[in-house]
Amino acid sequence: MGKRGQVTIYIILGILIVGVIGLTLAFRERILPGTITIETVQTEFGPIREHIQECVDESANGPIREIALKGGQLTPKSYKLFNGTTVSYLCYNIKGQPTCYNKMLTISDMEKDLSQVINFNLQKCIDVNSFSSIFSGVTVSGQGMPKATVIINKENVQVDVTYPVVLTQKDITITENKFNTMVNLPLGDLYDVSQDIINVETEFGDFDQLIYMLSKTGKYMIYKHRPYPDKLYQIKRTQTTDGLMFQFFVEGEPS
């Protein structure tokens, strides 16, 4: 009986030891995965994408609102000061005529202007290297400097960031190069309305905002001020809460 009892104890101890070893290996495998799979990479890139998107929102929102308030240029060369803001002239006076000639501000001009300032802001915001302390056994590094490309749409501003982010574990390396973010501000739509106004100003010399607003079924609110001798137009959407306003001057002639 004594020998059988000892054998039984040894068997139980062996089972317990094997079980403990198995649990330890399983737990270690979960904490320190031996390989990177597509699934784990997607999971690990998730927080990095969120971080870059937050940086883009933070870096782009202010400049988009600023360029709208300044009439399509962040540093306008021809402007008039209004409420502490340098507001661009988008249509210049023609001497002796009620009409003006179009400055020809383009969407491309605004995209280049925004890209430059967003690039500068992103360099101060993005920090992917710090994620190395979060992902156990995985090194995260950004290659070079982030570069933003801006595309102005009617309902939003698309910011495409080219910035190689490298995840490395042992001898396995995976890279993601591009990150895309949509900033939901209708800059392109308000720009289009500004061009409608300017086209009328260049052809007829004055724009009737009431008729235009009625033709657009109240989608826009357009204010026209007359700080002598110029005209200031301010454009907003009526059914949004984003508060974005596009404003610009039409140059007048002193009488």
Pairing mode, if any, of strands 100-102 and 79-82?
unpaired
The residue among 247, 243, 252, 236 whose CA lies nearest residue 67 is 247
Query: Looking at per-residue confidence, does 248 or 143 come out higher?
Result: 248
Q: Specify whether the CB–CB gap between 33 and 40 falls below 8 A.
A: yes
DSSP letter string, 131-165? GGGTSTT-EEEE-S--EEEEEE-SS-EEEEEEEEE
Q: Which residues pair with 174 in a beta bridge?
A: 167
Q: Specify whether the CB–CB gap between 139 and 130 falls below 8 A.
A: no
What is the C-alpha separation between 87 and 69, in angstroms, rounded?
Answer: 7
Q: What angle do CA 166, 171, 176 make, to 5 degrees?
A: 20
pTM: 0.82
**Comparing 131-140, 165-174, 214-223, which segment has the lowest mean pLDDT?**
131-140
Q: Specify whether the CB–CB gap between 217 and 200 falls below 8 A.
A: no
What is the C-alpha separation between 49 and 37, in angstroms, rounded?
Answer: 18
pLDDT the model gives residue 22:
54
Q: What is the mean pLDDT of residues 218-241?
A: 95
The kind and range of the H/E element at 29 are: helix 2-31
pLDDT the model gives residue 191:
98
| pLDDT over 80 (residue 200) | yes
57-80 tens-digit pLDDT: 999 999 999 999 999 999 999 999
Q: How many residues does the chain have?
A: 255
**Comparing 28-32, 119-123, 124-128, 147-151, which segment has the lowest mean pLDDT?**
28-32
pLDDT the model gives residue 80:
97
What is the C-alpha separation between 165 and 99, in angstroms, rounded?
Answer: 53
133-144 tens-digit pLDDT: 666 677 788 888
